[in-house]
A = this chain, B = another copy of it.
């Protein structure tokens, strides 16, 4: 069976724990990259990003190379897409070229799900529309696990444009699998509705003293004219800053998937605050993606 990595929802808690353990092990090995076994030698991975990306594309590229794989970057702007080629045909072309995995990002929410059954090459979802970003989900779980040595029972606040965030989407999927309690904060109009008792709406300031982690999300104010908020008042109402950090428990951590807007959803002094794990998350992204690539390509059971 082809091992696509499209959504955390397709894994059991046991399987995800296995991936987290593997990622944690790679995280240690990354201290001495020259000692990492070349588990993906002679493998070629195609990075296919229909949306711009720094950290995710480079993160996959570093992860692949740390395991001895080669990477091909397919940039739609410089390609047959200009000639009107469909995504299916572009992916089928890459499959025909014999690459061992396709890492894929697209603005469409459901494209990979629609296409997957027609392909033998494993797909890795590097961001699908506003719904899912499961490799980010795994690195977030790894970051929480490193901090608290468990996931079940943790309390996490998410603050920002949750409705349109694939990062939040994958975290909420993971929350249900592991029994993490999620509090949805930020503008009411940007909160999704939830029937799940694990996921509930909360006032940001009121909940800060109770949570183990706060996941701040990028907010693009220009997309939300109906909010009638400028950067300053958004930051005042929903941004992470010194005042709010002081409301948090001393052991609680600040997370953000990046890229972040300094001064809007997070103040300058919080980005590298001792309680921030933002750049740790980026480091963990490499380890998480190494685990995912190894699983998808070497067809390992978990």
Contact = CB atoms under 8 A, between A and B. Distances in A.
Interface of A: 30, 33-34, 36, 41-44, 46, 49, 52-55, 57-59, 61-62, 65-66, 70, 72-75, 77-86, 89-90, 92-99, 218, 258-262, 271, 279-280, 282-283, 285-286
A279 B44 CA distance: 18
Given A61-B72, A97-B62, A80 B34 contact: no
Nearest to A32: B42
A37 B282 CA distance: 32
How many chain copies does the complex carry? Answer: 3
B52 A283 contact: no
Contacts of A80: 52-55, 258-259
Contact of A84 (B59, B74, B259): B259
Given A54-B81, A79-B53, A258-B93, A99 B62 contact: yes
Given A62-B72, A96-B279, A52 B82 contact: yes
Nearest to A283: B96
A54 B84 contact: no
A151 B279 CA distance: 45
Nearest to A272: B92
A94 B56 CA distance: 11
A218 B55 CA distance: 35
- In the A-B complex, the 4 residue pairs with the smallest Cβ-Cβ separation, listed nearest first, are A96-B282, A54-B79, A85-B259, A54-B80
B283 A98 contact: yes
14 contacts: A34-B42, A44-B66, A52-B78, A52-B79, A54-B74, A62-B99, A80-B259, A85-B260, A89-B258, A89-B271, A93-B258, A93-B282, A95-B279, A97-B282
Given A33-B43, A62-B72, A89-B258, 14 more contacts: A30-B98, A33-B98, A46-B58, A52-B78, A55-B97, A58-B94, A66-B98, A75-B78, A83-B259, A84-B259, A85-B258, A93-B279, A96-B280, A98-B286
A104 to B, nearest CB: 14
With most chain B CB atoms within 10 A of its CB, the pick from A58, A81, A95 is A58
